[in-house]
Amino acid sequence: MMTSRPPKRMAIAIAAIAALRLMGAAPLFAADAASASRPDAERKAFQSFFFAKFPKVEKDDFGNGPYAVNAGMRKQWEEIMQFPPYDFALDEGQQAWEKPFANGRKYADCFENGGLGIRQTYPRFDAKTGQVETLDGAINRCRVENGEAPLAWETGTMASIIAYLAQTSRGKPFDISIPDDPRALAAYDRGKEFFYSRKGQLGFSCASCHVVASGERLRGDILAPALGILASFPIYRSDWGSMGTVSRRFTSCSAQTRAVPLADQDESYRDLEYFLSYMSNGIPITGPGTRP
């Protein structure tokens, strides 16, 4: 059984240590703001918490979310994957990606390597704006710079294009960098704070479900571990009946905890995506994915 886990007491102790290191370390090292070693140490603690909580799950499997930690769901998933429901989106995404803009330029002109095999390096810190830029943001920036209207963030063509790009990055481990810039470290810290802060009527933080209760049931669903949770995006959710981007997941997560969702690609969500992706460095991209 893949659901078995280490003795509960041990898991809690490790969680406590991880929480201490993640939350408590910030003020101690504040003077050392430009150093990238603190996020690095925090990432190691974060990852070892999940490796200890799920000792039977291979590191590379964390990108498969609930299917990595629940044998029953994995079996169903393997059946679904004989005919992945995101197949239509992949075709649509490739077509949209290759279609030139009205000015004759293409998406590929905006990205290194023509946009292929780069998904694992997003989101990035943009030194020009001093903010985090997601792949979604880069795609819409490319459109606007070429005189096209931006795409809607949550589903449709945006999701299809990212599905196509993610597929060209499959198997490539997350490779997010925090440059030597205090604003980058601040974005990471804000993302971390968002992740661990309780919000909404139900008083859940992201970590309540995706760290502490990861692998457990929430009604009919299995909560995915936070490690590698973004590796499979965009996803086709049977519940949605369509594709969804990280934006769609974040806003619906907020709503499910009865918090007021922020606007798509709000700076807080981008910081959160930056933090979560950095925490998953080394976990291979599995997207596009499918979820119940």
Catalytic residues: 253
Q: Which is nearer to other proteins, 160 or 257 (CB)?
A: 160
Q: What is the closest distance, in whole angstroms, from the C-beta atom of residue 240 to other proteins in the complex? A: 10
HEC sequence for 70-117: CHHHHHHHHHHCCCCCCHHHHHHHHHHHHCCCCCCCCHHHHCHHHHCC
> Token pair of 224, please?
């995915």
Binding mask 236-265 for other proteins (x = CB under 8 A): -----x------------------------
Give dist(CA 84, CA 81) in Å, integer.
5
Least separation, in Å, of the C-beta of 172 and other proteins? 26
- Closer residue to other proteins in complex, CB, 51/240: 240
Nearer to other proteins, 35 or 238 (CB): 238
In angstroms, give the least distance from the CB of 155 to other proteins.
Answer: 13
Q: How many residues sit in the footprint of other proteins (CB under 8 A)?
A: 9
In the chain, the amino acid numbered 83 is F
Minimum distance of other proteins from residue 95's CB (angstroms): 8
* Complete DSSP assignment for the chain: -----S-HHHHHHHHHHHHIIIIIHHHHTGGGTT-SHHHHHHHHHHHHHHHHHSTTS-GGGGGGTHHHH-HHHHHHHHHHTTS-TTHHHHHHHHHHHHSPPTTS--GGGGSGGGGTT-GGG-SEEETTTTEEE-HHHHHHHHHHHTTPPPPPSSSTHHHHHHHHHHHTTTTPBP-----S-HHHHHHHHHHHHHHHS-BTTTTB-HHIIIIITTTSEETTEEPPPSTTTTTT-SEEETTTTEEE-HHHHHHHHHHHTTPPPPPTT-HHHHHHHHHHHHHTTTSBP--SEEE-
Tell me whether residue 95 or residue 129 sits nearer to other proteins (CB atom).
Answer: 95
**Closest CB to other proteins among 89 and 165?**
89
CB of 85 vs other proteins, minimal distance in Å: 6
Binding status of residue 292 toward other proteins by CB under 8 A: no
Which tokens is 21 given?
Answer: 């290191």
Our CB check for other proteins shows the closer of 64 and 160 to be: 160
Contacts of 266 by beta carbon, 8 Å cutoff, 6+ apart: none
Least distance (Å) between residue 71 CB and other proteins: 22
Question: Of residues 43-102, which lie at the interface with other proteins (CB under 8 A)?
Answer: 82-83, 85, 87-88, 91-92, 95
What residues line the site for other proteins (CB under 8 A)?
82-83, 85, 87-88, 91-92, 95, 241
